[in-house]
């Protein structure tokens, strides 16, 4: 996987976390650097860990599915992307809590990173160098989430749906690219 493709995957995966971060920022009276870094850290760490877990799970049986791995990557990325697009079109809830406690942030960090677990499985099928990939994904997510807190504090939830929609489209297009490359060059 090329660096620009990995960058697009990282940005797409971080869109759920970015959207939640925007709403967190909206609910804060003043979004200081400490809160932005805390939110970024929760989402960045989990977005980095989940593909690693998915990669190791996928590595356990990738030799058994190598003949149709491109179809699996296409379907999984397509499903994740479609889910993100669908969620972007649903009405969003205003007034997300600004609670940044471990008990409040952990479920959000896990929920927004489940898609990254599946992408990690796809990475194992594509034989992506996982360590740089998960660091890259974690750093991108951290940065966008911390920035999202500030954006939300200034602009509100106006960008939440657009961010989720864009992330979904990117994942679908990457899945399609993987499928077409394997079909054209078996």
What is the structure's pLDDT at 133? 95
What is the structure's pLDDT at 97? 55
Task: Supply the angle between the helices 130-155 and 3-26 in degrees, to the nearest 10.
Answer: 30
| pLDDT, tens digit only, all 186 positions of the chain | 788 889 999 998 898 889 888 878 877 877 889 999 999 999 999 999 999 999 998 888 766 766 776 787 788 778 877 887 887 788 765 544 577 889 888 888 988 888 888 889 889 888 899 999 999 999 999 999 999 999 888 876 666 677 778 877 887 887 788 788 878 876
What is the structure's pLDDT at 93? 55
What is the structure's pLDDT at 95? 47
**Contact 16/166 with Cβ under 8 angstroms?**
no
Alpha carbon of residue 88 to chain centroid: 14
What is the structure's pLDDT at 33? 93
What is the structure's pLDDT at 186? 63
SS3 percent helix, strand, coil of the chain, rounded to 5, is: 85, 0, 15
Buried b (16+ CB within 10 A) or exposed e, 96-120: bebebeeeebeebbeebbebbbbbb
Q: How far apart are CA 19 and CA 17, in angstroms?
A: 5
For the chain, the structural domain boundaries read 3-184
Would you say how long the chain is, in residues?
Answer: 186
**DSSP code, position 68:** G
**Contact 150/64 with Cβ under 8 angstroms?**
no
Please give the torsion angle defined by the CA atoms of residues 52, 53, 56 and 58, in that order, rounded to the nearest 10 degrees.
-110
159: how many CB neighbours lie within 10 A of its CB? 16
């Amino acid at each position: 996987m090329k660096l620009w493709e990995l960058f697009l995957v990282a940005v797409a995966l971080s869109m759920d976390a970015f959207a939640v971060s925007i709403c967190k920022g909206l609910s804060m009276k003043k979004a200081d650097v400490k809160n932005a870094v805390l939110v970024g850290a929760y989402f960045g760490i989990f977005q980095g860990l989940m593909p690693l877990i998915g990669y190791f799970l996928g590595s356990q049986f990738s030799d058994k599915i190598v003949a149709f791995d491109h179809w699996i990557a296409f379907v999984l990325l397509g499903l994740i992307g479609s889910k993100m697009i669908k969620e972007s079109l649903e009405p969003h809830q205003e007034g997300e809590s600004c609670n940044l406690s471990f008990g409040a942030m952990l479920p959000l960090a896990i929920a927004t990173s489940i898609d990254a677990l599946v992408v990690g499985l796809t990475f194992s099928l594509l034989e992506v160098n996982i360590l740089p990939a998960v660091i890259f994904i974690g750093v991108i997510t951290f940065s966008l989430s911390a920035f999202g807190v500030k954006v939300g504090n200034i602009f509100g939830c106006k960008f939440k749906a657009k961010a989720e929609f864009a992330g979904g489209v990117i994942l679908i297009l990457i899945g399609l690219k993987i499928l077409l490359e394997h079909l054209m060059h078996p």
